[in-house]
Structures are given as structure tokens and as C-alpha cells.
Amino acid sequence: MRGKKIAALLAAMALFGAAPVASARHMAEEYVDRVQRERQERLQEEARMRRVQEQAEARRRAQEARQLHDDEDEEDTEAYDEEIDEEDARDDAHAAEEAARQAPAAEEIEERRQEDNFRKEEALSKEEARRRKEERREAEKLEKKRAKEEAALEKERRKAEEKERRRAEKEEREREKQAAKEKERAEKEARRAAEAAEASKEAANTGEGILEKYLRRAREKVQGSVPASASTEARLHIAKEQPIKRLEVETVDTGGTLLFSDSPEYVKEPGILYTDVVKGDARVFYYHLNDTKKPYKVAVVLESVGGQYAVVRVTRRAVAAPSENYFEVGKGLQEAYFADNQATEKMYIGPDDRRLLLEEMDKTIVKPGELVSGMVDFSVTAPVRVSVLFYPTGKDPLKYVAEADVLPADEHRLRGTFVGMDRILRLKHSYRPDDDGLACIILADGERDAYREGVDATDGSLATNSGNYGMLYRLELPVRGKTRFLMSPMGGLYAGVVRAESEGNGSQLISVPSRSFFFGESTVHPPFTKEGMSTLLTTADIADLGVFPAKPRTFFDFSPPGASNLPVMLILAPENTKLTEEPEKTP
């Protein structure tokens, strides 16, 4: 029937053209599916109704069974309820007892809990206090740091102000010192002019000229200590009066420590002439005259200090034989010191031990009126005390030094410890013979060539080495052509030695002067102008050091000689500079 309806529907749809054939088939299929779903739903509803009815029947039957059993067990249930009540009563009593028993424990637990809470609160309070204390401490640190920085800045400011003040004061002192020197120079020139005028006036009356008079007084001063032949030996002079300019030099002080002992120069009693502690490179220079009526000895004693072993190496040495001829002592010392045949000597000094710097010192006797001088270079690996000792001939110097007193200095105070025992003088610009003509540098004048400043270790006073005695000079004088080197004294009598060293050609000792034992007693040099110009007079004594080429370079070693007067002028001149010989006139 349903198929007929479907077929009729499809035929009608095709007849009337309501839709294509494919669409009609689709609609038919949808209709079939809907019909099947409806049938399935009816079947499911019928099954559900049957299950409901079965469950209702089962409940009815269970209720009837329970009713039957309830009637049977009513009595048992009442007895069971009584037992349950009894058990509940027992449980309640037991619970009450347990509650009564546990009440103190609960209180204790509560107390502990409260105590824990208190401790926690106290710990938090302490932590807060500690934190606040740390914060205060940090704040105080920052404040102290700021205060310290501010104090440091203030200190630096004050230090800068003090430094500036000292610099200004030093400049003012230098200006005053320079003004005083200029004034002294002017007064000196005025005195010289006055003396020259007086001498000329006296010469007009007595027939003795100024130079002759000066020479006579010089000879009277040395009291016959100069060989008689020196007065008649030829002296060198410049052939023609010429202008001369002062060259600019750079000064570098270097080397170790100089111990200079020349005060008292005239020793009247035994004792320690000078003493100090040194370490490293050192030089000792002593110059003393026995002004007693007995023979004595002079030695240099070394003593270890601080409980240390010391190794001593003597690298250069010179001890002049004692003599009443002062120039012989001074010049002879330099000849020995600058000699090339020097051998290094080594010795050891134990803790608290003493040794002589040179063993032969104890064998040298200085008679009354004799001068003795020594100059020794050495180095030590540990601190040692160096003592220049004037002691009786029958005494052991190593024992006597322990009981001897330090002798006071004389009015000249020429003794002390000076750091920087060597000096390098270097021309700022090379000398050009053809362009520069006569030129010079001044040695040991205390102005352009400053005197070394130090300390007298015996009393802590400041010391000045007036003359730079004991210092070793290295003169670096670059030239641009063959140059003649000359030397002329500026302070009076002079006798010394210069060492010339050429690169690759060895060295030579040059006696100054070489034609006579000493010179300079009649030499006068006009002062230099502010521009560094002066005049080399034909009356000035001159020592010829020789002619040296530009290459290989030549260096000169120089040290102010004892017994001689300073300053001294080192002259650079063209090779063809003419010199003349003129014997000194005997008064």
C-alpha cells in the first residue's frame, strides 16, 4: 500500500513536471526514512512502558516481603535497640572521661601554640629591629664615607694651597737669592775695581804691579809647598783677547751616596771625623790635615749593622801619600783615582763585625802638618756604618772606633751625606767651531753648576758641598768639527787631572796644567753678562787638553781636586786657536 502511494506520488510529480526525476527520487527516500524513524520510536516507547510495569510489580512484591519480616523481627529489634543505647551510654561516658583526661593536654597545646605565636612575633620584632639597625648602620657608613670624602677633598685643597704657597715662597726666595747674588757680584766687582785702583796706586809708588802682588801673596799663603821650578815654567795664554760665550747644559745627578769628610779640616785631636750608614753604591772622600804635634793615622772603618752579613766590593780606589805639599796630595789623588788599572776587591763583613775599607790605611802614618786624602768607590749588599777615623798610631782602629767620639765640625762645615754622587753635564746644542768661536761651560760655581745639598748625619743639620768635592762629573760635549779643549781656573790656584775617553780609542789622563805644577794665581776673568757673554783675556792661564774630532765622540771625566780653588772654566775653541807661551815672572 505504501509502495503504491509512493509510486502514485512519483507519477504525479512526473506528470505535472513539479521537479526533475532525480529530485523526486530524493524526496521519496526522505519520506521512507521518516516513516522508519517513527516506527522505531513507537517500538522503543512500548518497551519502556513494559519495564515500568515490571518495576512496579517488583516493588509491590518486595514491600509485601518486608512487611512479613518486620512482624517477625519486631521483638529482636527492640532488644537490639536497648543494646545500642547501652553502648552509646558507655561510649558517651568513655568520651567524657577521655575529654576530661585530654583537657590539660589541650590547654598545654593551646599554651604552646600561644607561646609559638609569641615567639614568632618576637622573632619578627627582632628581625625588624635588626633590619632597622642595619639600615641605620648603612646610613652611618654612608655618612662617614661622605664625611671622609669631603675631608679628603678638603685636605687635597689645603695641600694644593700649601703647595702653591710654598712654590710662591720658593720663587720669592729664589728671586731674593738671585738679587742677593747679583748684589754680591756687583759688590765683588766694585771691590775688585777698588783693589785694582789701590794696587795701581801702590804700584806707582813701589813699582809692584797688581799681578805681581797677587802672586806674592799666593806664594806666601802656600808657604813654600810648591816646587821652586813651578814658578819659572812656561804658562799658556790666548794669543789675542777674544769674546767668549757660556753654553747651556743639561744636568743629571745620578749614582749612589757620597760621604764627604773635610770638617774639621785641621784636626787637633783623635776621634771620628764623619760617620753614617749606607747601602748600595757609595763613595767616601776625605781630606784632613794633622794639626797636632804627634803622628796619627786616618782610616775608614766599616761596621755591619742590623745583624746582617754584608758583601763589600771596592771598584775604584785612591789614597794619596801624606804630604805638606797640598797640591801634590790633591793632584796625586786624582791621578790614582782616574787610572785604568783598577781591580775590584771583595770582602765579607759578618754581623756586628768591623773591617777596614782598605787594609793599607792602617799602615799610613800622617806626620804633624801633613795632609792626607782618599777617594774610594764601593758597594755593599746590606747596611754598614762607615766611619772616617783619626786615631793614634798605637791603637787598633777596629777597637778604637767603638770608644771614639764624633769630633765637631769647624766653621766651614764641609762634611755630610749627599745622595747622587755622580753628575752628567750635557750640552743642549752641539758646539760648532766655525760658528760659535770661543765658548765654555763653568764647573762647580754654585750657580749654573749647583752645589749638592745633603745632611750632616752626625747632628742632622743641612749640609752644602761647596765645591762639589768628591763628585764625579761626566762631560758630554758633542761637537760638529775638530775642537780644541782648554781649561782655565777662575777661583785661584788650581792643580788637577782630567780623563778623556774616546769611543773605541780608549782613554788618557791629562794633567791640568801639564806645563807647570799648578796655575791660576794670576788669572782674572771678567764677569759674564746676562746674555752669557764675557771676554777671555790674554793674561788668563790656560791648560791645553788637546784637539779632538767630532767622531768618535769624546767624553771627559772630571772631579774637583782637593786643595784647589773653584770654579774652573772648560773652554771649547776652533782647532786653529792660537796660544802663546810666557814664563811666569818671579817677583
Calpha distance 257→284 (Å, rounded) = 8
Q: What value does the mean pLDDT take over residues 337-352? A: 92
Q: Determine, yes or no, domain membership for 92.
A: no
> Which residue, among 447, 443, 458, has the nearest Cα to 557 in the 3D structure?
443
pLDDT of 49 reads 84
Q: Are residues 411 and 449 in the same domain?
A: no
Asked if 268 and 410 sit in the same domain, the reply is yes
Identify whether residues 217 and 284 lie together within a single domain.
no
Tell whether the model's pLDDT for residue 577 goes beyond 60: yes
Does 404 lie in the same domain as 315? Answer: yes
The model's pLDDT over 236-273, given as tens digits with 9 standing for 90+, comes to 999 999 999 999 999 999 999 999 999 999 999 999 99
User: At 74, is the pLDDT very low, low, confident or very high (cuts 50, 70, 90)?
Assistant: low
Q: Are residues 338 and 353 in the same domain?
A: yes
Summarised one tens digit per residue, pLDDT across range 133-179 is 888 888 888 888 888 888 888 888 888 888 777 877 777 777 777 77
Question: Do residues 369 and 487 share a domain?
Answer: no
Residue 215: band (very low, low, confident or very high) from pLDDT cuts 50, 70, 90:
very low
The domain in which residue 376 lies consists of: 256-419
Say what the pLDDT of residue 73 is. Answer: 62
- Does 278 reside within a domain? yes
Whether the pLDDT of residue 581 is over 60: the answer is yes
Are 457 and 320 within one domain? no
Predicted confidence band at 121 (pLDDT cuts at 50, 70, 90)?
confident
- Look at residues 548, 545, 526, 427 and name the one whose alpha carbon lies nearest to residue 486: 545
Whether residue 205 has pLDDT greater than 60: no
Residues contacting 266, CB < 8 A, separation 6+:
288, 289, 291, 410
Decide if 191 is inside a domain: no
Question: Can you give the pLDDT at residue 253?
Answer: 96
CA-wise closest residue to 491 among 461, 470, 518, 457: 518
What strands, in cross-sheet order, belong to the sheet with 543-548? 533-536, 242-246, 439-443, 568-574, 483-489, 543-548
Q: What is the pLDDT of residue 129?
A: 82
Domain count, the chain: 3
228: pLDDT strictly greater than 50: no
Collapse the DSSP code of 491 into the 3-class scheme (helix H, G, I; strand E, B; otherwise coil) and give the result. coil
Residue ending a domain, among 63, 90, 112, is 63
Residues 391 and 525 in one domain: no
Grid cell 763653568 is found at 442
Q: What digits encode the pLDDT tens for the residues 293-324?
A: 999 999 999 999 988 999 999 999 999 999 99
Q: 190 falls in which pLDDT band (50, 70, 90)?
A: low
Cell of 430: 752641539
Tens of pLDDT along 354-406?
999 999 999 999 999 999 999 999 999 999 999 999 999 999 999 999 999 99
| pLDDT tens-place string over residues 6-57 | 555 555 555 454 444 556 667 777 777 887 888 888 888 888 888 888 888 8
Q: Is there a domain that residue 177 lies in?
A: no
Domain-located, residue 551? yes
- Do residues 296 and 290 touch, judged by C-beta distance below 8 A? yes
CB 329 within 8 A of CB 372: yes
Question: Could you tell me if 413 and 298 lie in one domain?
Answer: yes
Do residues 480 and 549 lie in contact, with contact meaning Cβ atoms separated by under 8 Å?
A: no
Based on the domain organization, do 349 and 398 belong to the same domain?
yes
Tell me, what's the pLDDT at 409? 94
Pair 360, 474 in one domain: no
Domain's final residue, options 419, 443, 463: 419
220-237 average pLDDT score:
54
Is the residue at 384 inside a domain? yes
Please report the sign of the dihedral spanned by the C-alpha atoms of residue 417, residue 422, residue 428, residue 429.
positive
Q: What is the mean pLDDT of the chain?
A: 84
In the chain, the percentage of residues whose pLDDT exceeds 70 is 82
DSSP label at 189?
H
DSSP 284-330: EEEEEEE-SSS-EEEEEEEEE-TT--EEEEEEEEEEEEEES-HHHHH
Q: Which of 47, 63, 79 is the last residue of a domain?
A: 63
Residue 158 lies in a domain: no
For residues 354 and 434, membership in a common domain is answered with no
Whether residue 154 lies inside any domain: the answer is: no
Lowest model confidence (mean pLDDT) among 224-228, 470-474, 581-585: 224-228
